Structure 1
Amino acid sequence: MNDEHADRAAAKLLRLQDALRRNYGEATYKTWFSDLMIDDASDDCVTLSTASALRRERLDQQYKHGLMTAVREIYGDASRLLIVMRQALRENSARVAALAPAARPRGVIKGDFETPLRNTARQTFAPPNLQELATPLDARQTFESFAVDASNAVAAAAVRQIFDEAAPRELLYIYGQQGVGKSHLLQSAGNEWLRRHPGSRCLYLTHNNVQTGCVQALMSSTTMTLQRDILSNDLVMMDDIHLLAGKQKTMREVVNLMTAITSSGRQLIVAGELAPGALEKAQILGRLADRLAGGLAVGIAPSDETLRRAVLIKTRDGSDLRCTITDEAIDLVARLFSSSMRECIGAFKQLALVYRDRAGEIGPNEAMAALQARLGDRRRKATLAEYGFRLP
């Protein structure tokens, strides 16, 4: 009976492993899922364990939904999933995952849990692949498509300064609230760099990819290899650095990377939401906060209606539309959606999508009709008169 139970348990673990490989691919599976074990499956709760604290945190924060989906393929009644650190088991505990054939060394008797557990802790991890981590540049994000006014003029000038050969190569930190155009500026710098320096290389990394690369490098003991790969680029950009708050090991490695980049004469641009003085209060590592404050730090203020209008006109003029969205419709969108530039552009894209196949002019009335649902979260019923538009 014990052998029968062990075989069923092993089969379930193999099914879970196959599902994770199928859903995420072999590279991601090896990096994040390969040492997972099924500790317990009782009632409506399944408990998975990993030997790494870093893995446990990442699985819980980023992959829990996907894990729950895979677990439900095997345990249909499961409604809760726990991800825990591996702990020593009593000799008679029902260690399901240790019975998997792939985890059992030769010569270990089925049901001996301690030896396979020690063996699992010595697994090797795949090093980071920079090509997989890098985010491709959006060719539409250029200096020409970036509207400038008093709120972002200094930041735009600071980014353009990196193309001045006489200017020093120093860390440039662009900060401002969500949706003010920080990512657009970074991508503009990357596209302009490649245009001016054919054959050169630049690297754009989101905070998530920075964290993934650092964690993989730490787990595979290849931090110097990651540093070497990053230094093969002439321009390095890191976006949303504030989202690394609280991730101490990652931030320490980021400081080392920044030091290597700047000391080797490469250009580094970093973007985040927090002003230099607010970084440490938000659990950003002191050394990292000092690095960002010690470079050229430039803020972007929230956009006003004039800037939002200018951005929308550039977006409209660069779009391939059958319809003609009038300046009055642009004015309405710029006035209605004022919380961030990102929200404003998103509303315009929705408007363009609604009328994409319609020939003719799209004025304020059509714009209001198309965007009324988007406004529904904030207002019961919006009218043109409320926003200063006179009805004919």
Structure 2
Amino acid sequence: MAVDITITDEVSAINQKLAERIGQQKFRIWFKNSTRFTLSDNYLKVGVPNPFVGSWIENHFLVDITAAVTAVTGSAKKVTFNIEPELSGSQRPSQLDCQAQLVQKAQNKGTRSKITAGQLSSRPVKMTLDTFVVGPSNQLAYNAAKSLISDEVSPFNPLFMHGGYGLGKTHLMQGICRAMCTAYPEARWLYVSAEDFTNQFVLALKTKKLDAFRRRYRQTDLLAIDDIHFLASKPSTQEEFLHTFDTINLAGKKVVLASDAHPKMIGQLCESLVNRFVSGMVVKIESPDFKTRCKICVQRAGAINHHFDEKVIAYIAENIRSNVRELEGALLKLAAYSSLCNEPISLAVARQVLAEHI
């Protein structure tokens, strides 16, 4: 009984912390009566009423949920989403209306800013291939990315990269786009998420501007789409993307895709798309080994103008193994502590400050 009470208290605290991070309005619209949090071992299971709400929450609030869980439990937990249809009955009509209005506003705002931009790229591209730390876990993906840029006609199409959260897929995609700018200044390229593609396709249908949508996506020298698994369970959008891919491929242009899973492991993805994806180069990015994690720590520390002792770097790299973003979070926390307390980071201090992470 005591364990159940403790878990219930933690879930309540996670909800409270999440509401503080995203604001009461967003929490009320997307989480109150819409979700059910369940703590289980190293997981936080998020029950959602339907795939749409689950996808929206995952794409817009996953970072906040993860941060809230870590703040309350003192350790990072994997967040998973489960469909619980009984939650649909808990949602109020006004709540559903608010969700629909927010989605529409996001689509309109995003599409206006993206379509009117002079550059085809619709997402900020900050990362470069030069800052990508290469190791055994990602060497093949990096080599493929370099080959894609150096060869005028790609030897494979598409380049499909897959792997877990925070392992460098987005970094490589942005690096490819930046390299494309440098190598071919006149090239037309587009970097979006699969959610962007879906939202813009739906809007084009509603506003009867499908021709403009197709020209924008199909007349490119490079199309890079992140989180392509978002197309699962969306047959109309899958068909549209299939024709988009075929048009670009037949023109001898390049397509780069990233996903959390291998094409054959993405549920409810049409066979034609799976076949197109596996006909190119499918590369898995693994979790970095110890030596690569050390290199990443040193590089990230330099990026924030902070130097850490080798023992501290080794301690972080040895104990945080899952993904690069957790490494970055640990480094930022140590740098902030050092700055605020005006104290150098020794190994003992690092152990103390990172106790809740490790």
Matched, 1:304 2:289: yes
AA aligned to 1:160 is K
Secondary structure of the structure 2 residue equivalent to 1:320: coil
**CA distance, structure 1, for counterparts of residue 268 and residue 262 of structure 2:** 13
Provide the rounded CA distance (Å) in 2 between the counterparts of 1:126 and 1:319.
Answer: 32
What SS does the aligned partner of 1:236 have?
Answer: strand
Hey, what's the Cα distance between the residues in 1 that align with 2:217 and 2:95?
33
CA 1:126–1:339: 2 relative to 1, 3 Å: closer
Indicate if the aligned counterparts of 2:334 and 2:345 stay in contact, CA closer than 8 A.
Answer: no
The partner residue of 2:154 within 145, 148, 168 is 168
User: Which residue in 1 is equivalent to 2:230?
Assistant: 243
Larger fraction in helix: 2
Deviations 1:200-240 (A, max 9, x none): 34221122212211221222232331121124442221011
2:334 alignment partner AA: L
Q: CA, structure 1 residues 352+126, in 2 after alignment: closer, same or farther (shift >3 Å)? A: closer
- Tell me which of 121, 124, 130 is aligned to 1:144: 130
Whole-angstrom distance in 2 between the partners of 1:60 and 1:332: 36
The verdict on how the C-alpha distance between 1:207 and 1:304 changes in structure 2, with shifts beyond 3 A counting, is same
Does the 8 Å contact 2:163/2:169 carry over to 1?
yes
Distance of 1:289 and 1:336 partners within structure 2: 37
- Do the aligned partners of residues 142 and 85 (structure 1) sit closer, same or farther apart at CA in structure 2, a change above 3 Å counting? closer
Distance, in Å, in 2 between the alignment partners of 1:370 and 1:84 is: 41
Q: SS in structure 2 opposite 1:215?
A: helix
Spell out the pairing of 1:32-47 with structure 2 (5 A cutoff). Answer: none
Deviations 1:358-389 (A, max 9, x none): 666422222222222334xxxxxxxxxxxxxx
- Larger radius of gyration, structure 1 or 2? 1
SS in 2 for 1:356: helix
Select the structure with the greater relative contact order (CA < 8 A; seq sep ≥ 6): 2
Shift of 1:350: 2.3
Partner of residue 40, structure 1: none
Q: Structure 1, residues 151-185: CA drift from partner, whole Å, max 9, x if none?
A: 11111101110122354362111111222111111
Corresponding position: 1:366 with 2:352: no
Residues 128 and 213, structure 1, Cα contact 8 Å, conserved in 2:
yes
Determine which of 194, 214, 217 is the counterpart of 1:230. Answer: 217
Which consecutive residues of structure 2, in runs of 5 or more, have no partner in the other structure? 1-24, 27-32, 34-49, 61-89, 98-107
Residue among 159, 164, 184 paired with 2:171: 184
- Residue among 283, 305, 310 paired with 1:327: 310
Distance change (3 Å), C-alpha of 1:217 and 1:301: same
What secondary structure sits across from 1:148 in the alignment?
coil
- Contact preservation (8 Å) 1:329, 1:367: yes
Structure 1 match to 2:255: 268
Question: What aligned pairs does 1:1-392 form with structure 2 within 5 A after superposition?
Answer: 62=56, 80-82=91-93, 128-129=111-112, 130-131=114-115, 134-138=122-126, 141-165=127-151, 167-168=153-154, 170-279=157-266, 282-321=267-306, 324-356=307-339, 361-375=344-358
Give percent identity, aligned residues only. 23
Q: 2: distance between equivalents of 1:345 and 1:362?
A: 16
What do the CA deviations read for 1:89-139 (whole angstroms, capped 9, x no partner)?
A: xxxxxxxxxxxxxxxxxxxxxxxxxxxxxxxxxxxx99954447821101x
CA distance in 1 between partners of 2:192 and 2:208 (Å): 21
CA root-mean-square deviation = 3.3
- What secondary structure sits across from 1:325 in the alignment? coil
Over 6 Å off, 4+ runs: 83-86
Q: In the alignment, is the contact (CA less than 8 A) between 1:235 and 1:267 conserved in 2? A: yes
Distance 1:230 1:302, change over 3 A: same
Structure 2 letter corresponding to 1:206: S
Residues in 2 aligned to 1:365 and 1:286: alpha-carbon distance in whole angstroms? 54
Q: TM-score, normalised by structure 2?
A: 0.65
Distance 1:135 1:83 in 2: 32
8 Å Cα contact 2:137-2:287 kept in structure 1: yes
> In the alignment, is the contact (CA less than 8 A) between 2:169 and 2:258 conserved in 1?
yes
Does the aligned pair in 2 maintain the 1:217–1:223 contact within 8 Å? yes
- C-alpha contact 1:214 1:254 (8 A) present in aligned 2: no
Q: For 1:190 and 1:268, how far apart are their aligned partners in 2?
A: 11
Q: Distance in 2 between matches of 1:151 and 1:182?
A: 12
Letter in 2 for 1:218: L
Counterpart CA distance in 2 for 1:340 and 1:60 is: 23
Q: Which amino acid aligns with 2:92?
A: L
Q: Residue 320 and residue 222 in structure 1: after superposition, are their counterparts in 2 closer, same or farther (change >3 A)? A: same
Cα distance, 1:57 vs structure 2: 8.0
Residues 337-373 of structure 1, C-alpha deviation per residue, up to 9 Å, x if partnerless?
Answer: 1122222222222222332356664222222222223
